[in-house]
Amino acid sequence: MTEFYLDGKTKLVILIGNPVEHSMSPSMHTAAFQAIGFNGIYIACKVEKGMLKEAVEGLKALNILGANVTIPHKVEIMKYIDEIDPKAQDIGAINTIVNKNEILYATNTDGIAAIKSMKEAKFPLNGSTAVILGAGGAARAIAFYLLDYIDHLYLTNRHREKAEHLKNELSKKFDVKITIFNFNKNELKSTLKKSDILINCTPVGMYPNVDQSPVPKECLNKNLNVFDAIYNPIETKLIKEAKSLGANAIGGLKMFLYQGAEAFKLWTGKDAPISIMEKIIIKNLKK
């Protein structure tokens, strides 16, 4: 690892969100910058809703290299950006900004990251039948990439109308069969029997509610490939139960890592030092 220093040429990357205090991105990205000898630093900035426009203008005014955007600004911030990647436009949310000579370019790296981690875990994406639980930011980001691969999507959400809305938007872009079902035990069980992939995009099972799962164990089966977007805990109850039945199951840690790695590449032009970033995340999660 090269020596860490700051000087007049140090590039700044920031996180725009609220709250940001628990973010792992500053330590992950700053360590990654150091590891490749990139003269940069990453700082988390708490931005109030009423100050979002000024914060984005500040990126240009202060010649900040780029930013990540997190809750609650991922949607609202889009109106202040100069160029948005078409897929992020479809998703309706961004998580990464790059300042290219005072032109702000934004994209959403969550969906690509989820697909990359599922491919790595050998999920049979092409021509498969997949189930997505949830219709929020993560579900949207994943669905707009997943539908490039699968033949049939089963979608469910606690508030059904939000799933219907997502189905309508996906149907405008993809010629893939999409079926909405009710988020209850009977329908989950029968739907999962005819599916290859299960993707949890709800926060059910996330720390501190680690004894919860969005899917009762009896609805799971060994033929499923299960992806849980949650990365804290590293293994949710859903993942543990799916594995205990013999299913192929992974949590959201790699998704988090790869969304950061995609952003890193956009800011620095260099491949991210993945294993260093992973070590930092795991260390943070174990704190």
Contacts with ligand NAP by CB under 6 A lie at 110, 134-139, 157-159, 162, 201-204, 206, 229-231, 252, 255-256, 259
Least CB distance to ligand NAP at residue 135 (A): 4
How many Å from the N-terminal Cα to the C-terminal Cα in the chain? Answer: 23
Least CB distance to ligand NAP at residue 90 (A): 16
Least CB distance to ligand NAP at residue 88 (A): 14
Q: Give me the catalytic one of 9, 60, 74, 286.
A: 74
Comparison of 117 and 248: residue with beta carbon closer to ligand NAP:
117
CA 272 to each of CA 31, 47, 103, 269: distance values in angstroms, whole numbers, following the listed order: 10, 27, 24, 9
CA dihedral 104, 201, 182, 214 (to 10 degrees): -160
Q: Catalytic: 74? A: yes
* 3-state SS string for the chain: CCCCCCCCCCEEEEEEECCCCCCCHHHHHHHHHHHHCCCEEEEEEECCHHHHHHHHHHHHHCCCCEEEECCCCCCHHHHHCCEECHHHHHHCCCCEEEEECCEEEEECCHHHHHHHHHHHCCCCCCCCEEEEECCCHHHHHHHHHHCCCCCEEEEECCCHHHHHHHHHHHHHHCCCEEEECCCCHHHHHHHHHCCCEEEECCCCCCCCCCCCCCCCHHHCCCCCEEEECCCCCCCCHHHHHHHHCCCEEECCHHHHHHHHHHHHHHHHCCCCCHHHHHHHHHHHHCC
Least CB distance to ligand NAP at residue 245 (A): 22
Comparison of 101 and 275: residue with beta carbon closer to ligand NAP:
275
Least CB distance to ligand NAP at residue 188 (A): 12
Which of 255, 281, 275, 229 has the alpha carbon at shortest distance from 109? Answer: 255
Comparison of 10 and 168: residue with beta carbon closer to ligand NAP:
168
Comparison of 152 and 162: residue with beta carbon closer to ligand NAP:
162
Q: Nearest-CB residue to ligand NAP?
A: 136
Comparison of 129 and 259: residue with beta carbon closer to ligand NAP:
259
Least CB distance to ligand NAP at residue 157 (A): 5
Comparison of 41 and 230: residue with beta carbon closer to ligand NAP:
230
Q: What residues are annotated to the active site?
A: 74
